[in-house]
Structure 1
């Protein structure tokens, strides 16, 4: 005796639901497993630390002088000293962007 059309639709709906749930579970597992491991923080060199402190001092002086329009300019003469602090500066002042 052939199956009724109603039970045939139920079987397809059940198979579709199982496939959807399986796909969602697999996607969740892949997303959880592919999360990057947090990188350990590299120590900042003493020269870069001094340079960052100097910049913060200049920013504080500008705020005290009432020059808080949000724009400060710095020369790149520090890079000639041999220690490149670009990454440290980016992490300290704008790493959360």
Structure 2
């Protein structure tokens, strides 16, 4: 039976180091190329959905009237209304 080729300890360490460096490089390349996962949409409360619908209606009405200058003001007068600020910013792209 032939005798297996002997490899010195330095050869094993060098091979191990090369494989580790290649693995680290491949991992870094994969992490850089992967897009972040899309966040699942959070459920919107009925009150916020209604408020967004009102805003869209007013925006559509302003466009139909020719007042499409991009400046509209909205106010909410109901007491104890839920804070829909973040939902509105996400919906209309202000949170980007």
Which TM class, normalised by the smaller chain length?
A: 0.5 to 0.7
- Counterpart in 2 of 1:65? 65
Query: Could you report, residue by residue, the CA deviation over 1:35-94 in whole angstroms, capped at 9, with x for unpaired residues?
Result: 65433211111100110000001101111111111111223546x533111121011101
Give the structure-1-normalised TM-score.
0.60
Query: How far does the alpha carbon of each residue in 1:7-62 deviate from its partner, in whole angstroms, 9 at most, with x for none?
Result: xxxxxxxxxxx69x7253131244468x6543321111110011000000110111
Higher helix share: 1
The structure whose RCO (Cα within 8 Å, separation 6+) is larger is 1
Greater than 4 Å deviation, 4+ residue runs = none
**Where does the alignment leave 5 or more consecutive residues of structure 2 unmatched?**
1-17
Quote the offset at 1:96 in angstroms: 7.3
* Aligned residue pair count: 77
Return the TM-score normalized by structure 2: 0.60
Contact 2:89/2:95 (8 A) holds in 1: no
Give the secondary-structure state (helix, strand or coil) at the position aligned to 2:72: coil
Give the match for residue 50 of structure 1.
50
